[in-house]
Chain A
Amino acid sequence: MTAGAGTLRLAGVSVRLHDRDLVPSLDLTIAPGEVATLMGPSGCGKSSLLAYLCGALSPPLSASGPVFLGECDVTRLAPEDRRVGILFQDDLLFPHLSVGDNLAFAVPPSVRGRQRARLAAAALAEAELDGFLKRDPATLSGGQRARVALLRTLLAEPRALLLDEPFSRLDGPTRSRVRGLVFEHARRRGLPTLLVTHDAEDAEAAGGPIIRLPGWENGA
């Protein structure tokens, strides 16, 4: 299944806080299935860059520069029309919905009726979470919640994937397993993926190009 739409291309994107440049002018092309890593000290604008890419940057931060998904300029699209998936440090599963409803929430509206629940169940089965459909997300382990969050993001059929330190709350074997799962799905679906992390091991596992952002203290 290759839903990927081609490359994710940033053509001179810059992020500002008030009138100070956090990210000066970033050119970056990520191929389908490739996982690029963005590293840098806290407060250097990594997360803000991701917020800009999914269309949710809020004042006092601002950004400029076109963003392309394949041939399509998505810079002016509303977040919900961009089809850019994002995973955060916290899984952010909606606490008022069951696991199955969380997944069904993400299924595109063109899929109707029972088929929605069927897609959710199939996704769970694929991630070895059979029978979790009716579960309360609050009763899941950290690794299980991370996997459900990934499934939810993928069910929305994104054309690119953004990862905002999604593994930093996990530890040990769970961490490397979830990480492997995320990268594997990204590759299999041909999703250009941008990972933000502090962790050198994450960056190495990603296997793609590594971009280091300078902190503003260092005189960007």
Chain B
Amino acid sequence: MSGSRRHWWDAWLHAAPTTTLALFLVPIIVGLVATWIPAFGYLPALGGTTLSLDPWRRLLDAPGLDGAVRLTLLTGLVSTLVSLAATIVILAAWHGTRVERAIRRLLAPLLAVPHAALAIGLAFLLAPSGWIARVLSPWATGWERPPDLLIVQDPNGIALIAGLAIKETAFLLFMSLAALQQIRVHDDMTVAGSLGYRPFVAWLKVVLPQLYPQIRLPIFAVLAYALSVVDMAMILGPSTPPPLAPLILRWTADTDLAMRFVAAAGACLQLAIIVAVIAVWAMGERAVVLCLRPWLSSGRRGGRGWAPRVLSGIVAVSFALLAAGAIAGMAVWSITSRWRWPDPLPTDWRVANWSNALPGLGTSAWTTLVVAVIATVIALALVIGCLEHEQRHHVRPTNRAMWLLYTPLLVPQIGFLFGLQVVLVSLDLDGGWAALIWSHLLFVLPYIFLALADPWRALDERYQRTAGCLGASPARAFWAVKLPMLLRPVLMAAAVGFAVSVAQYLPTVFAGAGRLTTLTTEAVALASGSDRRIIGVYAFAQAALPAVVFCAALVLPAWLYRHRRGMRR
């Protein structure tokens, strides 16, 4: 019996890496191919039977394309640069201080907020009729009524840049803090300090050059995301023209079916833009290195570093306040009955907003929950299988394998989901649970791997060896020793995966085909409407679900191991 159990276990570990790669590479490759072929006019289902450049010609002639591309480049590049600069200055200015530890704690909740919910909350906050204007009016602004200003959805995408910058700074900080664990920061900073370097400059000269290569792929993922974001852009970005990705989405839903060919060409253009921008970024990296190398060895020790502290402090605090205000705004609106301008708070409250929304809300919340739980469980099983396989056979993923892992985060969603939908429709799989869960799995998997890999590898392997020498089979050593010891990171990774699934907009639109809707698709669909109460209900529910899961992931191990000092860290 133990022989067959062992066989089962080994077979699983053996199959895990290949299965995982296939699970997310196959749909992406199929989706890309099925996007590129219609982009050259071939899609028999819609009457395209010959290859031609016609879709590209029509794409280039499409009204608003120039503006959309310009806006995409502007918002994508500026938001990424702002996030990276904020990350670097915050870490350099506050290294090893209480502020750094506070940031570490505040990151998880901010990461858990879905992009769409944050965007909706920010719109509630920043709009001319938003909370900030209400609080400041009329005594400070002189506005007797909401001014006719485009603060949100402004033509230059500033609101969109702000929304992206808040989320992506949190992501880059999170990835940097994880990467810093792999570097002997403390020793290096001590050495630099003993040579007379002030902390801020020491960090930039000694730690940053070691950190940057480690967060390069995450930066590219941020860049790709910001250049192709759809949900945030629909809520915070301008609409005439919108950035490229929402414009393509609009074309895919056009009543004129011929626009699908233009959409396919647009999706290919989107991919090309990301490839080009990443290539330019990589050249920019070299230029920066060339320019800064003399400074590294110039011997300049730097000043006290007050300016960067003040600056980064202001940035960090305003990001945190905006995020907190956004969430509070959703919460307040969701229980508002009457809120006249410019009152700072509603005059009448109504909790019944929630029960009124319940029939629709319940269905989409249930779908959200089921898809997120199943996708997370599958992804956890696969990732743990991969990590165990890696340890058993002493293989580490190569640099190339890490690029593969990042594929779903680097390829724009619109660039392959369009084709994937074409394939799903032809197989009659669109709008089904399997397709929806699989489409979420593509994005849940890499994030769970990133969250779990380091703690998993860091566990002393002698614990497992000891269990083996005490007579425990590999399976028992795994279930009774390794997994319980790694419970905290496993649950954290699960919470990350859950949050990623809840936040998915475009995969849900395409794979759900309108038949399966989640809190995210409903919230985004409602966001263009005018009833802030109902928007608030959906957006707050969307933000609350992952937050609850994060709390559980923090509290559960702490409670289970409350009598085990060795399990606290």
Pairing of A with B: yes
A residues near B, CB below 8 A?
51, 54-56, 58-60, 78-80, 82-86, 88, 90, 92-98, 105-106, 108-109, 136-139, 152-153, 156, 158
Collect the chain A residues with CB atoms within 8 Å of residue B462's CB: 88, 90, 92
Partner of A54, one of B460, B465, B565, B567: B465
Pick from A86, A90, A138: contact of B469, CB under 8 Å: A86
Contacts of A152 in B (CB 8 A): 470
Stretch from B129-137, B195-203, B434-442, B477-485 forming part of the interface with A: B477-485
The answer on a CB contact under 8 Å between A96 and B472 is: no
B142 adjacent to chain A (CB < 8 Å): no
Which residue from chain B places its CB closest to the CB of A86 in the assembled complex?
B469
Contact check, A56 vs B468: say whether CB atoms are below 8 A apart. Answer: yes
Evaluate whether A92 and B466 lie within 8 angstroms (CB atoms) in the complex, with A83-B471, A156-B471 already known: yes
13 pairs, CB–CB < 8 Å, chain A vs chain B:
A56-B468, A79-B469, A80-B468, A80-B469, A80-B471, A86-B465, A94-B463, A94-B485, A95-B567, A96-B564, A105-B467, A105-B481, A136-B564
Q: Which B residues lie within 8 Å of A137 (CB)?
A: 566
Are A88 and B566 in contact, with the CB atoms below 8 A?
no
**Does A56 contact B465, Cβ atoms closer than 8 Å?**
yes
B470–A94 contact, CB under 8 A? no
In the complex, whether B12 has a CB less than 8 A from a CB of chain A is no
Contacts of A83 in B (CB 8 A): 471
Residues of B202-251 contacting chain A, CB below 8 A: none
Whether B561 is near chain A, meaning CB under 8 Å from some CB there, is yes
Residues from chain A with Cβ under 8 Å of B477 in the complex: 80
New A-B pairs, 5, CB < 8 Å, besides A79-B465, A80-B473, A97-B484: A51-B465, A79-B468, A85-B469, A92-B462, A94-B463
Q: Please report the C-alpha to C-alpha distance between residue A78 and residue B563 in the assembled complex, in whole angstroms.
A: 34
Please give me the residue from chain A that is nearest to B6 by CB atom: A78
Interface of B is mostly: helix
Given A136-B566, A138-B565: A54 and B484 interface contact (C-beta under 8 Å): no
Distance of A179 Cα from B125 Cα, bound (Å) = 69
| Contacting residues, chain B, for A98 (C-beta < 8 A) | 563
Task: Find out whether the CB atom of A55 lies under 8 angstroms from the CB atom of B561.
Answer: no
Q: Does B394 contact A (CB under 8 A)?
A: yes
CA separation between A187 and B565, bound complex, in Å?
Answer: 35
A139 to B470, CA, bound (A): 23
Q: Is B487 an interface residue (CB 8 A)?
A: yes
Cα distance, A105 to B566, chains bound together (Å): 18
Prevailing SS type, chain A contact patch? loop
Which residues of B (444-490) have their CB < 8 Å from a CB of A?
Answer: 460, 462-463, 465-474, 477, 480-481, 484-485, 487
A56 to B466, CA, bound (A): 10
Number of interface residues of B (CB under 8 A): 26
Q: Is the CB of B565 within 8 A of A139?
A: yes
Rounded to whole Å, the gap between the CB of A140 and the closest CB of chain B is 10
Which single residue of chain A is at the shortest CB-CB distance from B468? A79
Residues of A within 8 A of B472 (CB): 80, 105
* B contact residues around A139 at 8 Å (CB): 565
Chain B positions within 8 Å of A59 at CB level:
394
- Inter-chain CA distance A105–B468, complex, in Å, is 11
> B residues within 8 A CB of A109?
471
| Complex CA distance for A152 and B469, rounded to whole angstroms | 11
Q: What CA separation (Å) do A82 and B473 show in the bound complex? A: 11
Given A58-B394, A94-B481, the answer on whether A106 and B564 have CB atoms closer than 8 Å is no
| Cα A138 to Cα B566 with chains together (Å) | 5
Which residues of chain B have C-beta atoms less than 8 A from A95's C-beta? 485, 564, 566-567
B465: A residues at CB distance < 8 A: 51, 54, 56, 79, 86
User: Bound state CA distance, A82 and B469, in angstroms?
Assistant: 8
Q: How many Å lie between the Cα of A95 and that of B485 in the bound state? A: 7
Tell me which residues across on chain B come within 8 A of A93, comparing CB atoms: 566
Which residues of B sit under 8 angstroms from A78, Cβ to Cβ? Answer: 468, 473
Given known contacts A59-B394, A96-B485, A106 and B470 CB-to-CB distance under 8 angstroms = yes
> Which 3 pairs of residues, A with B, have the shortest CB-CB distance?
A95-B566, A138-B565, A138-B566
User: Which residues does chain A contribute within 8 Å of B466, judged by CB atoms?
Assistant: 86, 88, 92
Bound Cα distance from A109 to B2, whole angstroms: 13
Chain B residue numbers with a CB within 8 Å of A82 are: 469
In the bound assembly, the distance between CA atoms of A138 and B466 in angstroms comes to 18
A158 to chain B: closest residue by CB: B469
From known contacts A58-B394, A92-B462, A96-B561, infer whether A84 and B566 are also in contact, taking CB-CB under 8 Å. Answer: no
A56 contact set on B, CB distance < 8 A: 465, 468-469
Chain A CB within 10 A, most for which of B470, B480, B566, B567: B470
